[in-house]
Structure 1
Amino acid sequence: MRYPCVIEPGDETHAFGVIFPDCPGCYSGGDTLEEALNNAPEALAGWMEDMIDEGFPINPPSSFDEVAKNPEYKSWIFAMVDVDLDKLSDKTERINICLPSRVLRRLDNLARKNNENRSSYIASLVMSASA
């Protein structure tokens, strides 16, 4: 999905600042316009992942024209940034892993103590470790 961003022009002493009008608090930047544009997709994807983790909805993107008409961004640069929403999906996927029997017994015991199954317990561990 493509999201509009606006870039505040930089110069020799100021970085180029990137904001996403549809994503409050999402910003990026770079010392050059090229660097700012290269950094923008990672900032947008990271912001979206944080919002999903916190249970907040992701706003749909505004049209490019809608953002460009905003007088607040009169002398700014406009661009569109792609984000792969499939990478942010919570759709479950079946995987096949091999674990030693001893580890599998521990996993089952820990999952049972937490009223979870193997899959949800492993997912909980990964999410808490990456927080």
Structure 2
Amino acid sequence: MPLERPHTRMDDLTVERVLRVVEAIPPGRVAAYGEVGAVVGVGPRLVGRILRTWGSGVPWWRVTNASGDHPLLARTLPHWETEGIVVKPNGQGCRMADFGADLEQLREDSSAGLAELTAGGQGASADGTEQ
């Protein structure tokens, strides 16, 4: 019997929420896929899928795995150099301890943009159904 996985809806609202949180990561800082997902209420894999598909217009280079490694490091380096993010000795990413975003600040900085999305009944209700 196959394992059942919890269903995570990827609708326009979820996509926009992820993109707005990524936009709120300050220059010179990074956040892990799971951290972005925690702010939005989705899993890290969905964050990665959204960025891969719709993330070209946001600072995607500021989202890493939990270790600070970036899967597209060669494309990321010019952005990181501009922002002062230094590659750690393993050559695969940056040190989260040095460059990780303050998550409480990220929640605060993204809250206005996220609130705009649900203003006027555009978002999902508390039980997850569309309003």
TM-score range, shorter chain: under 0.3
> TM-score scaled by structure 1?
0.23
Structure number with the higher helix fraction is 2
Query: Normalising to structure 2: TM-score of the pair?
Result: 0.23
Flag the structure with larger Rg.
Answer: 1
